[in-house]
Chains A and B, each alone.
Chain A
């Protein structure tokens, strides 16, 4: 099954109904589970929280898969659910404190005078805020290219978008994020 696992196969399985619904769902988890985990954990910065959010995301996917209208790729649709669920979780968690967070998931290299004066913690938060401010598709392309280090050809398949459009989208996302971070650090 895993050999031919892709969006089309999953949707066809789901449409057959019955036991195939669960098989299709498990196919989604196999295909996109690790990316979802990575995407969520970069924001929640804690395995337990990631686990909770991921579980909620998967439940929503299972419940709402019949509402997926194939206007976008399956992963774009899943990414939207994960992004909303994670941001809702973070909003609730902001009121709490004392949670053990992972060490920053970025490293700052010496040589940029603005970045030299700040901490990885601060930059990670700014980077996250900047990604949240992007349009959904741009944020998704940035995540897949920058953090997951996927090739444009792979992203193109997953998002059903041309490589040229992806390159333009990634370039634009980088510019916006850079401007966002510099503006915040200069204030």
Chain B
């Protein structure tokens, strides 16, 4: 039956020692003061204006360069389309030494480059095969050559006593 008693009749809450109003006033002041010192609207910050100016300069610079690059690519291509093929071939033949390899390869279709390369590799492979098929034999080398080789390499025959049954 004791359990049915109201437990709040047996629990007594103690008062908390609350600091005086000066403590709360100081706390409030510290917050309002720190807000005044720290929080400056973003548009009033020098960093904001410096960053904006820098960003504007970069954007203008990039935009101008991008425009120029496009114009440089487009103008020659338009001119080339207007020219007759024979005139172009004649010009290239006469001035072939003025073109570097990189520039020429830029205008040669990829398929042409690929097929030529394959042919070159095929030729080289055949040559290698020919060399591989030639068999070498010790019979073709004279004893004198072998001894000369050992001497030049400073190899002593006594090192091979076991293998050669000397």
Cα separation A181 to B6 with both chains bound (whole Å) = 11
B1 to chain A, nearest CB (A): 10
A173 to chain B, nearest CB (A): 11
Size of the chain A interface, CB-CB below 8 angstroms? 37
User: When the two chains form their complex, are residues A146 and B19 in contact, meaning their CB atoms are under 8 A apart?
Assistant: no
Q: Is the interface of B mostly helix, strand, loop or mixed?
A: helix
Is B25 located at the chain interface by the 8 A CB criterion?
yes
Cα separation A25 to B36 with both chains bound (whole Å) = 14
Residue of A nearest to B35 (CB): A62
Within 8 A of A (CB), among B1-21: 2-3, 5-14, 16, 18-19, 21
Interface residues on B, range: 20 to 34
Given contacts A30-B21, A37-B19, A106-B12, contact A178 B7 (CB under 8 A): yes
User: When the two chains form their complex, are residues A29 and B28 in contact, meaning their CB atoms are under 8 A apart?
Assistant: yes
Is B31 located at the chain interface by the 8 A CB criterion?
yes
Is A11 located at the chain interface by the 8 A CB criterion?
no
Instruction: Return the contact of A26 from the options B5, B11, B32 (Cβ within 8 A).
Output: B32
Cα separation A33 to B28 with both chains bound (whole Å) = 9
Q: Is the interface of A mostly helix, strand, loop or mixed?
A: helix
B65 to chain A, nearest CB (A): 45
In this complex, which of A29, A41, A110, A123 has the most chain B Cβ atoms within 10 angstroms of its Cβ? A29
User: When the two chains form their complex, are residues A115 and B13 in contact, meaning their CB atoms are under 8 A apart?
Assistant: no
B165 to chain A, nearest CB (A): 82
Cα separation A178 to B11 with both chains bound (whole Å) = 11
User: When the two chains form their complex, are residues B19 and A59 in contact, meaning their CB atoms are under 8 A apart?
Assistant: no
Cα separation A54 to B29 with both chains bound (whole Å) = 14
